[in-house]
Amino acid sequence: MVVQNSDISEVFEQIADLMEIKGDNPFKIRAYRNAARTIGGMPHSVADMVTQGEDLSTITGIGKALAQKMEEIVATGTHSLLHKLKEELPADLLLMLKIPTLGPKRVKALHSKLGITTLEELELAARAGKIRTLDGFGVKTEQGIRAELERLQTTEQRLKLVVAEQIATVLTGYLKELPGLSDIEVAGSYRRRKETVGDLDILVARDREAPIMDHFTTYQEVERILMKGETKSSVVLRSGLQVDLRVVPHRSFGAALQYFTGSQTHNIAIRSRAQKMKLKVNEYGVFKGEEQIAGRSEEDVYTALGLPYIEPELRENRGEIEAALDNRLPRLVSLPDIQGELHSHTTYSDGLCSITEMALAAQARGYEYLAITDHSQRLTIAHGLTVPRLRQQLQEIDYLADKMKGIVLLKGIEVDILDDGSLDLPDEILRELDIVIGAVHSKFKLPLSQQTERIIKAMDNPLLHIIAHPSGRLINERAPYDVDMDKIITAARDRGCFLELNAYPDRLDLNDIYCKAAKEMGVKIAISTDAHSLRDLDNIRYGLGQARRGWLEPEDVLNTHNLENLTKLLQR
DNA sequence: GCCGTTTTCGGCCCGACTGTTTTCAGTCG
């Protein structure tokens, strides 16, 4: 069994949860949580690092003790400390922590005073009215627990960014109907362009009195009001999405935006830095003693801390503060940098539009080039192209090339990578194409080494340029297939291949972490929409969000290059 | 358990809201 970084994170998180219930030192617990996050965000396999004898304690936030524990987890898949804790405390207590309003202290009380060990026992106790008898608990808490237990059944999960965006757009439109509000911004992971969003954090600036909280909580989509205060309210919408609204004065808007954009670990790092500078940072500003020295804009906040502005997508405490201090923050790629689209479908396979329609749409977006890359024959369900049909398409592209002004059509294919790593079309025809994208659409369940070998073998074919959606994941629907992405990236570098960042909001594949790893290895990324319709071309912005989270600069991206440079880059 | 622009010991981000209290602990972000 290969122990993944996520396995190590999970063990540390569980240890932290259980130590919290036990009432252990909160800072020790934080060390475990920090470590869990750090490891979860590392592109390199800890298991590999151990095999290669690397010193894990050189990782920031990992000391001798945690390094040793990681080695044990790599060797055994778990840790003896976790076992010991689970002997002391029932594992179901971890599930109870998932219930809002139940934190470690209350879970501990439920266990020690009422002997509750499972969710079922929790429900029975709530029904029997036993919970309200405990110190610190009351009727409302008891009712809340029952409601939440019911809600846990209807599995809630984080929403895809695209879905959250639709909800946020309508809601902020509604909020703006109230006079007296000026700045309004959706902060949180939404603003950091994370692929999924757990809740919406909306921030509003107000200078004069306005019944903003009443306006907010009477929004027609509100199902439940969790809390309603002067400056902070939370509701649950019918969609199940939680929305928090914060109101701050103008002079604090930047500080509040900085704070509510997070991430939490970024904020902790920022505030620790402020402490060392004898300053205090909160959502109202940066303070020297009583005096507010910054807060109107985010830029002011960072400036006051001696830092250049850090883009929201970078704020994950993955080295951005160190980079800011060294003046080596990336100049992140953005929409105007994009010169063309390298992955698109037409009615020749499963696209909805003709070549001409796609070309005009790409031209309207100011692109210099559009690659037509329909599916290959094996993907029968998508009407994949056989050699004769591809030839026919190439003829049409040649014909259109004479008539199309202002957009260059590239001849391409999204060719299936077959089970053995060979490509689904013969080299003779691939040789006629400008761009060849290889994609895995079958045998997702191959063992790690086989899947990895399969993709690397595809790259061994010098006619292949790009690996499409390299992990195969569908967010919230299908896990990535078992593949050693470190090896894939290395293999791409050695062979002069590129990796795709598929911008389709359900994919966003490569993810941010591997984009950063690819950048560090010098492998360029194609940000591609995989458009099956005209509107799909606009999905580029989701890809850009993920690319920016991966620290990508224009030069790290294949399709920021003009056609002349692109042509050179595509010569393997 | 980690870490070092005062430190190898003594710190570790900070504030809002709720429910259960009668001044605050617990939870959350």
Q: What is the mean pLDDT of residues A425-447?
A: 96
Q: What is the mean pLDDT of residues A266-279?
A: 90
Which residues 214-233 of chain A have a CB under 7 Å from nucleic chain B? 227-233
**CA dist A54 → A5, A72, A462, A476 (Å):** 15, 14, 34, 34
Q: Are residues A135 and A224 in the same domain?
A: no
Tell me which of A247, A270, A292 is where a domain ends: A247
Q: Are residues A464 and A488 in the same domain?
A: yes
Strand, coil or helix: what is A460?
helix
A262: which nucleotide lies closest, measuring CA to C1'? B29
Q: Is the CB of A102 under 7 A from strand B?
A: yes
Q: Are residues A444 and A462 in the same domain?
A: yes
Which CATH number does the domain housing residue A84 bear?
A: 1.10.150.110
Instruction: Confirm whether A532 is domain-assigned.
Output: yes
- Tell me: the pLDDT tens digits for A56-71? 999 989 999 999 999 9
- Tell me: the pLDDT tens digits for A299-312? 999 999 999 999 99
At A179, the pLDDT band (50, 70, 90 cuts) reads confident
What are the backbone angles phi and psi of residue A211, rounded to the nearest 5°?
A: -80, 55
Instruction: Confirm whether A169 is domain-assigned.
Output: yes
What is the rounded CA–CA span in Å between residue A345 and residue A341?
11
Instruction: Confirm whether A256 is domain-assigned.
Output: no
Q: Are residues A10 and A108 in the same domain?
A: yes
Q: Are residues A164 and A221 in the same domain?
A: yes
What is the rounded CA–CA span in Å between residue A228 and residue A210?
15
Which CATH number does the domain housing residue A222 bear?
A: 3.30.460.10
Q: Are residues A37 and A88 in the same domain?
A: yes
Domain count, chain A: 4
Tell me which of A275, A307, A325 is where a domain ends: A325
Evaluate the omega torsion of the peptide bond into residue A263 and state whether it is cis, within 30 degrees of 0: yes
Instruction: Confirm whether A396 is domain-assigned.
Output: yes
pTM for the predicted model, two decimal places: 0.90
Q: Are residues A163 and A146 in the same domain?
A: no
- Tell me: the pLDDT tens digits for A296-351? 999 999 999 999 999 999 999 999 999 999 899 999 999 999 999 999 999 999 99
Chain B: nucleotides under 7 Å from a protein CB? 1-3, 5-7, 11-21, 25-29
Tell me which of A325, A356, A380 is where a domain ends: A325
Instruction: Confirm whether A252 is domain-assigned.
Output: no
Instruction: Confirm whether A468 is domain-assigned.
Output: yes
A87 CA to B10 C1' in angstroms comes to: 33
Q: What angle do CA A88, A94, A96 make, to 5 degrees?
A: 120
At A153, the pLDDT band (50, 70, 90 cuts) reads low
Which CATH number does the domain housing residue A315 bear?
A: 3.30.210.10
CB-based contacts of A482, cutoff 8 Å, min separation 6 = A446, A447, A448, A451
Which CATH number does the domain housing residue A346 bear?
A: 3.20.20.140
At A144, the pLDDT band (50, 70, 90 cuts) reads confident
A548 CA to B10 C1' in angstroms comes to: 39
Q: Are residues A189 and A136 in the same domain?
A: no
Q: Which domain holds residue A556?
A: 335-569
Which residues 163-202 of chain A have a CB under 7 Å from nucleic chain B? 188, 199, 201
A208 vs A548: which has the higher pLDDT: A548
